Amino acid sequence: MNQAKELIDLIGNTPIIQVKRLDTGKCNLFLKLENTNPGYSIKDRVALNIINNAEKEGQLNKDSTIIEASAGNTALGLALIARIKGYKATVVILDKMNENKIFHLRAIGANVITTRSDVGPDHPDHYVNVAKKIAKETPNSFYASQFTNMNNPKAHELTTAPEIFNQMNGNVDAIVCGVGTGGTISGIGKYFSEHSPKTEMVLADPEGSIVKDVVEKNEVKEADYSWLVEGIGEDFIPDTLDLKYIKKAYSVSNKEAFDTIRNLASTEGILGGSSSGTLIAAAIKYCMEQTIEKNVLTFVCDNGEKYLNTAYNESWLKEKNLI
């Protein structure tokens, strides 16, 4: 039996299961359980690839501080790997993100700074701009820059995509992804464009995000910041997003997203994070439009235990008019 030497060795090679109790029309819907990574999210893959490449390029030494702007999960992945490899981590996280992520980050030794979630990318308090400023002011720092660092989509091209291809025996007709940085949909899209051109890359975008309109109309509008799901939805187009791979896009409301993950928990027993609700809701929309049987895959992006106080809390849901 192959034995992991340390926690980092458990990143990737996540299982895929088929949904059995949700109505998916003529299609078969599969979920890749990225919540089984050691940091409990798909972003562990990105964090590991960014840090490994920074080490190869001599950008990190034993006294380095890794700095990043994140909705939480990339920060968790970076902080986890930084802790194991002996680096420090400072992360800038949006003030609307779940407090449990902040507790988790601090538990593994990260320095956490929160900033405003209601300002656009040109504002100095935008979380990316805050992280860049901290990186400039911190000696011996490495800014991970997940929104521009091409090792982000490369992580999915090298690991997530071939895993899906092999686990599905090459028989996957559509893969549904969200966009935070765009790394997942771009990296997987690149791989499948070369190895399985029939596979459609489908965007799941929260209502209020700008990405769907850019895909469909090549129109950049102003985000309204109304989405409550965490980790996906954008107010700008990141450098790491390659739009050419996206063949279809769906918009998903807050209510659809949160209803979907609660339904997933009560029917399939899977406790997924809030972005998983957006992805699975869009995947079901895609499935119900199909007139022939297709194999459709999407992700449980992270662990729902982070959201027990929000997505699975009836008081919070009532406060947000979601039930």
Map out the domains of the chain as residue ranges: 7-36+154-319, 43-143
| Residue of 5, 26, 32, 43 marked active site | 43
Per DSSP (E only), the strands in 95-199 are: 111-115, 141-143, 174-177
Multiple choice CATH, 7-36+154-319, 3.40.225.10, 1.10.287.130, 3.40.50.1100, 3.40.630.10: 3.40.50.1100
Distance, in Å, from the CA atom of 290 to the CA atom of 270, rounded to the nearest integer, reads 25
pTM recorded for the entire structure: 0.95
Distance, in Å, from the CA atom of 81 to the CA atom of 87, rounded to the nearest integer, reads 8
Could you list the pLDDT tens digit for every one of the 323 residues in the chain? 567 789 999 999 999 999 999 999 999 999 999 999 999 999 999 999 999 999 999 999 989 999 999 988 999 999 999 999 999 999 999 888 889 999 999 999 999 999 998 888 899 999 999 999 999 999 999 999 999 999 999 999 999 999 999 999 999 999 999 999 999 999 999 999 999 999 999 999 999 999 999 999 998 888 888 999 999 999 999 999 999 999 999 999 999 999 999 999 999 999 999 999 999 999 999 999 999 999 999 999 999 999 999 999 999 999 999 99
Amino acid identity of residue 59, one-letter, is Q
Task: Decide: helix, strand or coil at residue 219.
Answer: coil
Distance, in Å, from the CA atom of 6 to the CA atom of 123, rounded to the nearest integer, reads 41
Cα 290 to its chain centre, rounded Å, is 26
The residue to which tokens 């935070």 are assigned: 180
Distance, in Å, from the CA atom of 31 to the CA atom of 33, rounded to the nearest integer, reads 6
* CB of 141 closer than 8 Å to CB of 118: no
Element containing residue 91 per DSSP (H, E) = strand 88-94
Distance, in Å, from the CA atom of 323 to the CA atom of 315, rounded to the nearest integer, reads 9
* CB of 114 closer than 8 Å to CB of 108: no
**CATH class for the region spanning 43-143:** alpha beta
Got the DSSP string for 75-135? HHHHHHHHHHHT-EEEEEEETTS-HHHHHHHHHTT-EEEEE-SSS-TTSTTSHHHHHHHHH
Asked if 43 is an active-site residue, the reply is yes
Distance, in Å, from the CA atom of 294 to the CA atom of 299, rounded to the nearest integer, reads 17
Residue 137 sits at the vertex; the CA angle it makes with 131 and 139, to the nearest 5 degrees, is 110
Distance, in Å, from the CA atom of 211 to the CA atom of 266, rounded to the nearest integer, reads 31
Sign of the torsion formed by the C-alpha atoms of 5, 8, 12 and 14: positive
